[in-house]
Amino acid sequence: MVKALREETFYSVRMRASQNGPHEKGGKHISGGEQLSTYDNLKQSINVLLDKALSHSRGNPDFMQIQFEMIDEPIKKLKPLPIEINEAGSVEEGQSIARNLLEKAGVPTESIEKAHRELMEHSVLRGAILFDIRSCSRIGDRNEKGVRVSRMDWLTGDFEKWADHYNMSRSQRLKEALVLATKVSAHPATIAELCWSDDPEYITGYVASKKLGYQRITKLKEYGDERGCRIFFVDGSSHLQPYIDYLERQSILIQWEEDE
């Protein structure tokens, strides 16, 4: 009985790591990560996050924080967004595919261009930029810090079944990105997300939306480039705080169900 109760309690486990001191003292962002874990699995979850940050191509961290806290609100379950792959032979082609997909998802061209300029001004962003398509401007001003989407995960066994079914690699990176994109796009105010990694060795990124699913684009930046991007295009800036609360506080567990 005690065991059954314990198994239903989940913990949010978070990690952030930086170099040349903590982020808030100007350190360079190295890695961040999120897990949801049962009590019995905490050690393993912490180890996954530890390994992620200790072997990162952005460099070795000299600051790391790993914390866990019990979740006392209900956890919402979501199905992963459907996935599609767009092959790009060059960055220009990849960026043009991304722009087309964003437009298809309902983001006006003007917003795409302005968000792009905004991005160029902040080459060291570690969270996401929120960009409102109505006012055509960045909202939720947090400078370099951006917004960090938290409290989400996908149990490894279920993710691996999904990956095998769709012939995708069982990569932790793909899992984390699809979890985040699914959580973000599930909110009614999100129109679309644009993302590529700040890992210099990883050039695949994606556009995601409710309408288009998770559209992977194989080349969105040059190899060696440490500048990443995560923009959420939103419609509904008047409800900004509840939107940020959803991103930061609503717990989401991805659960795949095989179609008949």
Q: In the complex, which residues of this chain contact ligand PML (CB under 6 A)?
A: 173-174, 177, 195, 197, 199, 202, 204-206, 216
Q: How far is the CB of 226 from ligand PML (least distance, A)?
A: 12
Residue placing its CB nearer to ligand PML in the complex, 37 or 215: 215
> Which residue is closest to ligand PML by CB?
197
Q: How far is the CB of 225 from ligand PML (least distance, A)?
A: 13
Residue placing its CB nearer to ligand PML in the complex, 195 or 254: 195
Q: How far is the CB of 176 from ligand PML (least distance, A)?
A: 7
Q: How far is the CB of 74 from ligand PML (least distance, A)?
A: 28
Residue placing its CB nearer to ligand PML in the complex, 131 or 206: 206
Residue placing its CB nearer to ligand PML in the complex, 160 or 199: 199
- At 102, which amino acid appears? L
Residue placing its CB nearer to ligand PML in the complex, 16 or 216: 216
Distance between the two ends of the chain, CA-based, in angstroms? 35
Q: How far is the CB of 3 from ligand PML (least distance, A)?
A: 36
